[in-house]
Structure 1
Amino acid sequence: METNSEIISDLKDLLSIVNDGKEGYESASEVTDKIDLQGVFLKYAAQRADYAVELKAHIATHGGLADNESGGILGAFHRTWIDLKVALSTKMDVAILKAVVTGEKAAIEKYDKYIADYVDHADHMLLLEKQREGIVTALKEIESLLLQRELH
């Protein structure tokens, strides 16, 4: 069984992931000129901001302090990769959507890791499952948008 500080660390890891997602979606909305994609990206950026608030509340419940408003080092690297792919791609929106799919799959894997640790995360399992489902829904929408653009 994990200690309280390890549980706080796990939750902070998820907080970093949702902040990465928020920043990634915001970046994606800034580099596309398609209004429909901007709307989708901003919708999911707002969703991730809400997830961050929820996670911060659970961190506080466990006695931790969560002042992180941005993603982690890997998230910064991922956003840089999005920028590079966009700069090199002639199909900018396809490159953006593919990068978002990669980020969402990584987030789902991270949630799966902590959801599998049911004993240590029992008091916030419903929150983690709800947030994971929201990410899965976002992934499905992004994959659908990607397929539409790849076919055209």
Structure 2
Amino acid sequence: MESNNQVISDLKGLINILNDGKEGYDSASTTTESIELQGLFLTYSAQRAAFADDLKAHLHAHGGDSENESGGVLGALHRTWIDIKQALSSKEDIAILSAIETGEKAALEKFDKVLDDPALHVDHLELLQRQRTGIREALTEIETYRRRLEELNG
């Protein structure tokens, strides 16, 4: 029973950070004036929502329930998305991208911590690995955009 409680706790933590990522990307998409970045942010927002929905199914299978349906900055782990809200006030794409990088790195750390115990998450290990890869790919794309903008702005 103890291990099932840990699975529920881990899944809730991942769902929370995915919901925060979705909200962060939504906020970023309404702030940037770049059509290209708006599309990118909306794509990753939808991806995070789908990731969270997939994990909720596993959470329910383990007898858990997600209280965090819309994200938020309630947990210490995902307070990094506050940086995005601060960056949004500046309306600078480089600052927005940098803040998103911070949030994505926090998400990767959370996934890595959960994946450190693969036996505990055997029934959804492949899903977690696939989602982690998706976040890593998003982070790489965000970093590339930021570097490109930094080069353009000298």
TM-score by length of structure 1 reads 0.91
1:83 Cα shift? 2.7
- 1:82-141: CA deviation from partner (whole Å, max 9, x where unpaired): 232343x4x700000000011111111110111111111111100100000000110111
Corresponding letter in the other structure for 1:24: G
Match of 1:10 in 2: 10
Residue segments in structure 2 that go unaligned for 5+ positions in a row: none
Find the residue that maps to 2:29 and give its secondary structure. helix
In terms of mean alpha carbon deviation, does 75-84 or 4-13 score higher?
Answer: 75-84
Task: Provide the C-alpha distance between the structure 2 equivalents of 1:44 and 1:136, rounded to a whole number of angstroms.
Answer: 12
Find the residue that maps to 2:70 and give its secondary structure. coil
For the Cα contact (< 8 Å) 1:20–1:75, is it kept in 2? Answer: no
Find the residue that maps to 1:70 and give its secondary structure. coil
Match of 1:55 in 2: 55
1:62 Cα shift? 0.6
For the Cα contact (< 8 Å) 2:78–2:103, is it kept in 1? Answer: no
Corresponding letter in the other structure for 1:144: T
Corresponding letter in the other structure for 2:86: L
Correspondences of 1:13-32 after superposition (within 5 Å) = 13-32=13-32
TM-score by length of structure 2 reads 0.90
Report the aligned-residue RMSD. Answer: 1.8
For the Cα contact (< 8 Å) 2:24–2:85, is it kept in 1? Answer: no
Match of 2:116 in 1: 116
Corresponding letter in the other structure for 1:39: G
For the Cα contact (< 8 Å) 2:81–2:100, is it kept in 1? Answer: no
For the Cα contact (< 8 Å) 2:10–2:114, is it kept in 1? Answer: yes
In terms of mean alpha carbon deviation, does 44-53 or 68-77 score higher?
Answer: 68-77
Identity percentage of aligned residues: 52
Correspondences of 1:2-151 after superposition (within 5 Å) = 2-71=2-71, 72-73=73-74, 74=76, 77-87=79-89, 89=90, 92-151=92-151
Task: Provide the C-alpha distance between the structure 2 equivalents of 1:17 and 1:30, rounded to a whole number of angstroms.
Answer: 20
For the Cα contact (< 8 Å) 2:21–2:45, is it kept in 1? Answer: yes
Aligned residues: 150
Task: Provide the C-alpha distance between the structure 2 equivalents of 1:121 and 1:35, rounded to a whole number of angstroms.
Answer: 39
Find the residue that maps to 1:3 and give its secondary structure. helix
Task: Provide the C-alpha distance between the structure 2 equivalents of 1:112 and 1:78, rounded to a whole number of angstroms.
Answer: 17
Task: Provide the C-alpha distance between the structure 2 equivalents of 1:107 and 1:79, rounded to a whole number of angstroms.
Answer: 10
Corresponding letter in the other structure for 2:116: A
Task: Provide the C-alpha distance between the structure 1 equivalents of 2:15 and 2:78, rounded to a whole number of angstroms.
Answer: 14
